[in-house]
Amino acid sequence: MKKNLLVAQSGGPTAAINATLAGAIREAGMHEEIDQVIGACYGIQGVLQEKFINLSELVDTEEKLHKLSVTPAAALGSCRFKLNDIAEDDSQYRQIVEIFHKHNIGYFVYIGGNDSMDTVAKLSKYCADNGIDDIQVVGGPKTIDNDLMGIDHCPGFGSAAKYIAAVFAELEQEMCVYDTKSVIVVEMMGRHAGWLTAAAVLADLPNADVPYLIYLEERPFSIEKFLSDLRAKLEENDVVMIAVSEGVHDENGTFICESVSSSKGLDVFGHAQLSGTGKILENAIRDQIGCKVRSIELNLLQRCASHILSATDIEESGRLGANAVRLAVEKKSGLMSSLRRVSNDPYQVVYEGVDIQMVANAEKKVPQEWINEEGNGVTQECIDYLLPLVQGELTCEFKNGVPDYLMLK
Amino acid sequence: MKKNLLVAQSGGPTAAINATLAGAIREAGMHEEIDQVIGACYGIQGVLQEKFINLSELVDTEEKLHKLSVTPAAALGSCRFKLNDIAEDDSQYRQIVEIFHKHNIGYFVYIGGNDSMDTVAKLSKYCADNGIDDIQVVGGPKTIDNDLMGIDHCPGFGSAAKYIAAVFAELEQEMCVYDTKSVIVVEMMGRHAGWLTAAAVLADLPNADVPYLIYLEERPFSIEKFLSDLRAKLEENDVVMIAVSEGVHDENGTFICESVSSSKGLDVFGHAQLSGTGKILENAIRDQIGCKVRSIELNLLQRCASHILSATDIEESGRLGANAVRLAVEKKSGLMSSLRRVSNDPYQVVYEGVDIQMVANAEKKVPQEWINEEGNGVTQECIDYLLPLVQGELTCEFKNGVPDYLMLK
């Protein structure tokens, strides 16, 4: 008997999460085990509320699939919702299984980041532990932070990295127009991994005239050491570009932004809400060095810059969605769709499934050996890792000069 | 006798100022009156220091001309340098004329904004008053602020407007992923004109589901009225997008950002250094309304986003550069190369010259009748004006996945 495929999206928006959705919808049409593709709006929360739409009907042409692939954010909507601990209260799980049976859902692909993989882990374990073998739960990876374990790199990261490299290239041109000493500090997202910040190095490749100082949260940060690094660079250069992770912290783990203001709260998963590191460094430079300085927080702009996508990222994100559907149909519940890099030159990846337990709630950091000795730059190995991920240019569709997206909900 | 053409750039960087330079270089090759095209690095300051490069040699192919056209910032470098008042001290003018004669410069095209047109006005007047008829001084317009008089719209504005529309479209998708009340405040540049802020309206066109509140500095701003506008929108909508000019001010002319912090200095032209309006409104919303809110300052990112150019803007910017050279060759010193819109449907412009005296040190504001009665949006007439300027997509060149520019200095 044919079963329906349910797809939902969760966690922070990215420029590529809809490409994974489109890949799943396209692949579903190639499997006779699958009847309709259903979308749940607003993640697992929407599943519990049965906020379903029929994706087989809504996205029924190759044109729409492509348009969806280059639409940013999360076309189905998202949530930040943690399922209860099964040992304490399994009512949500029973409810979900009931809803799945009611809607003839046999396959569930949940696209998201670390926290969403926690949901996949719990739900697939619940099904396995309770002998529910007609529901296959598979994870689809996604996060601009690139901090998922069990995968070479995360869908959405390549596009965000390309955006960051482009922004740095443009800002470098900006900074060089005046014949004066000046510094720019750009603050990137990434709570506990510096991957996005590392991507700034790519802008430095075509023209190495202007020095970059790059500070990842994987190394303890000291404002004194930072100012000393900067002073040294300013002796020989007019312009210095600085890339810094929002989550840089001192040796005791105190975030630099917390050291000035600690009024920020915690989100539902207990993560600190960070901001302001760039501004703090800007002020320190103005006070201590006194040169022209400006700071920019890339903020949400780096998550969904669909007007500058990495073609490689969008392609791979689609294939990961298709692979997730294949894993589900092969009854490989409890896996996350993944990719492994088998060669860097030429760049080549293979698609596979990894145990969700090794992914959920873990974080992949930038390896210490990819950070230079001074802690203010990255190594060639890091560049070699990053470069293939930003290859190829792709943009969203435009209508009348303005981005035109596929709207689902 | 053949004379050399000197070109220089001045004022804030834009994504289109190099297209005007490329247009001038290309056009120069078509006039037998012109020998070499010389570039002065760092504007009029570089002229005084004789920092010259040979553009005829450096940009000698159609490929390089195109690459230059889509390179952001100011490839020759820029300055913010005000020539002395002639009546008080004409030594700089005598020095410039001497340098021009020494280098056989008969034509000078100065590309810049309001302040740069002041330089063109003073220098051309000095030549005219002193019977120096072998030097023709012509202005090439440029400013993302779109506030030059004597021209329908300014080179660089269309690309910045397209970038802003794209960013709003993306942020709107971001904001709509969660099923909660949330507000975003985006602060745009523009000291004394709200054109850039008005461009946010373009993102609202393909999908009018999400309300936009748009505040230009052409109307007095009140935080109380703003909060009341927002409260009304939030009653019927989950998400509200807010676009605000950095320079919004109250009825007495006090900038909103000054009302909280007044520690900012003045630049060399006496302009107030503004920032923080968006952050102030974010805090007001959090305190007074209490919903989820975030503010983003587009900062330098809006000036040089060469990864999303308006094809119309780059095309017109090139033609304005070419037109400037024609005016110089025709000995029309003291004019600014300009364009006039003769039809909106189909969109059509003609190129002409306008008296520099009507441009220098003046500012073109958004007309009051293009702002809605409530002062929180723009009219259809404003949209009709803006829309042709963002038509067509063009990007910088990429090499190995990263922007690749033509470097001159």
**Closest Cα partner for B79 from B39, B38, B46?**
B46
- Residue A214 inside a domain? The answer is yes
CB A190 within 8 A of CB A145: yes
Instruction: Kindly give the parts of chain B with pLDDT less than 50.
Output: 261-269, 273-274
Alpha helices in A188-330 (DSSP H): 195-198, 223-236, 256-260, 277-288, 311-329
| Enclosing H/E stretch for A85 | none
Give me the residue from B205, B294, B407 closest to A300, CB to CB. B294
Tell me the CB-side half-sphere exposure of residue A148, using CA atoms within 13 A: 34
Same domain, A121 and A197: no
| Residue A310 to residue B401, Cβ atoms within 8 A | yes
* Residues of chain B contacting residue A166, judged by C-beta atoms under 8 Å apart: 307, 402-403
Contact assessment for residue B21 and residue B9, using Cβ atoms and an 8 Å cutoff: yes
pLDDT exceeds 80 at position A191: no
Of A9, A177, A390, the CB nearest to B73: A177
Binary contact (A405, B169; C-beta < 8 A): yes
Q: According to the model, what pLDDT value does residue A265 have?
A: 46
Q: Does one domain contain both B224 and B289?
A: yes
- Beta bridge mates, A108: A6, A137
List the catalytic residue out of B60, B129, B134, B145.
B145
Helices (H) and strands (E) in chain B, counts: 13, 15
Structure tokens at B330: 């025709």
Is B127 found in the same domain as B98?
A: yes
Q: Are residues A337 and A263 in the same domain?
A: no
Burial class for B106, CB neighbours closer than 10 Å (0-12, 13-18, 19+) = buried
The yes-or-no verdict on residue A273 having pLDDT over 90 is: no
- B133 with B218, same domain: the answer is no
Both B143 and B174 in a single domain? no
Cα distance between residue A78 and residue A100, in whole Å:
19
- The last residue of a domain, from among B302, B318, B343: B302
Residue ranges with strand state E in B235-305: 239-245, 292-297
Catalytic residues of A: 145
The CATH number of residue B341's host domain is: 3.40.50.450
**Distance (Å, whole) CA B122 – CA B96:** 12
Asked if A403 lies within 8 A of B77 by C-beta distance, the reply is no
Q: Which domain holds residue B292?
A: 157-302
What lies within 8 Å, CB to CB, of A208 at 6+ separation is none
Identify whether the C-beta of residue A167 lies closer than 8 Å to the C-beta of residue A138. no
Query: A-B interface: how many C-beta pairs under 8 angstroms?
Result: 181
**CA nearest A311 in B: which residue?**
B401
**Sign, CA torsion A308/A310/A315/A318:** negative
Of A299, A400, A405, nearest to B173 by CB-CB distance is A405
pLDDT digits (tens, 9 = 90+) for B38-58: 999 999 999 999 999 999 999
Q: Which of A272, A270, A292 is nearest to A282 (CA)?
A: A292
What percent of chain A clears pLDDT 90, i.e. is strictly above it? 89
Q: Which of B44, B307, B393 to mutate to test the interface with A (most CBs of A within 10 A)?
A: B307
> Do residues A319 and A340 make contact, with C-beta atoms less than 8 angstroms apart?
no
Is residue B378 situated within a structural domain? no
Residue A261 pLDDT more than 70? Answer: no
Residue B343 lies in a domain: yes
Q: Are B163 and B77 part of one and the same domain?
A: no
Measured between beta carbons, the chain B residues lying within 8 angstroms of A46 are: 179
Alpha-carbon separation of residue B270 from A146, B80, B114, B273 (angstroms): 45, 11, 13, 9
pLDDT surpassing 60 at residue A30: yes
Residue A207 has a pLDDT of 66
> Which of B140, B215, B69, B154 has its CA nearest to residue B386?
B154
Measured between alpha carbons, how far is B10 from B94 in angstroms, rounded to an integer? 20
Query: pLDDT-based confidence at A165, cuts 50/70/90?
Result: very high
| Cβ neighbours of residue B210 closer than 8 Å, sequence gap 6 or more | B172, B175, B176, B204, B237, B239, B240, B241
DSSP for A247-263, written as a single string: T-B-TTS-BHHHHH---
Secondary structure element (H or E) that encloses residue A158, with its range: helix A157-175
Is B304 within 8 Å of A174 when comparing Cβ atoms? yes
- The CA distance from A173 to B68, in Å, is 13
Residues of A in contact with B261 (CB under 8 A): none
Domain tally, chain B: 2
Whether residues A253 and A341 fall in one domain: no
Tens of pLDDT, residues A351-384: 999 999 999 878 999 999 999 999 999 999 999 9
Q: Using 50, 70 and 90 to split pLDDT, how confident is the model at A267? A: very low
A162-166, A290-294, B258-262: which has the minimum mean pLDDT? B258-262
A152, part of any domain: no
Domain identity same for A210 and A276: yes
Is residue A254 in some structural domain? yes
Q: What gap in Å lies between CA B168 and CA B241, rounded to an integer? A: 8
Q: Tally Cβ neighbours within 10 Å of residue A261.
A: 12
The ipTM value here is 0.95
Kindly indicate the confidence band of residue A271, based on its pLDDT and cuts at 50, 70 and 90.
low
Chain-chain contact of A206 with B400 (C-beta, under 8 angstroms): yes
A201 lies in the same domain as A272: yes
Do residues A293 and A182 make contact, with C-beta atoms less than 8 angstroms apart? yes
CA angle B294, B297, B303 (to 5 degrees): 150
Parallel, antiparallel, or unpaired: how do β-strands B239-245 and B212-215 relate? parallel
Q: What is the pLDDT of residues A48-64, one digit of tens each?
A: 999 999 999 999 999 99
Q: Mark which of A261, A286, A302 sits at the end of a domain.
A: A302
**Three-state DSSP state, B243:** strand
CA dist., res. B362 & res. A155, Å (int): 49
Residue B381 placed within a domain = no
Closest CB from A45, A177, A407 relative to B74: A177
Tokens of A257: 């932004």
Residue B367 lies in a domain: no
Structure tokens belonging to residue B98: 């001497």
CB contacts, 8 Å: B398 with chain A:
393
Concatenating the DSSP letter of every residue in B183-234 gives: EEEEEE--SS--HHHHGGGGGGSS-TTS-EEEE-TTS---HHHHHHHHHHHH
pLDDT tens for A223-234 read 999 999 999 999
Say which CATH number the domain at A184 has.
Answer: 3.40.50.460
Q: From B89, B90, B101, select the one nearest B132 (Cα to Cα).
A: B101
Q: In this structure, are A328 and A232 located in the same domain? A: no
Run of H or E including B249 = none
Mean local confidence (pLDDT), A282-305: 94
Residue A47 token pair? 């599943």
Residues B193 and B334 in one domain: no
pLDDT given at position B268: 47
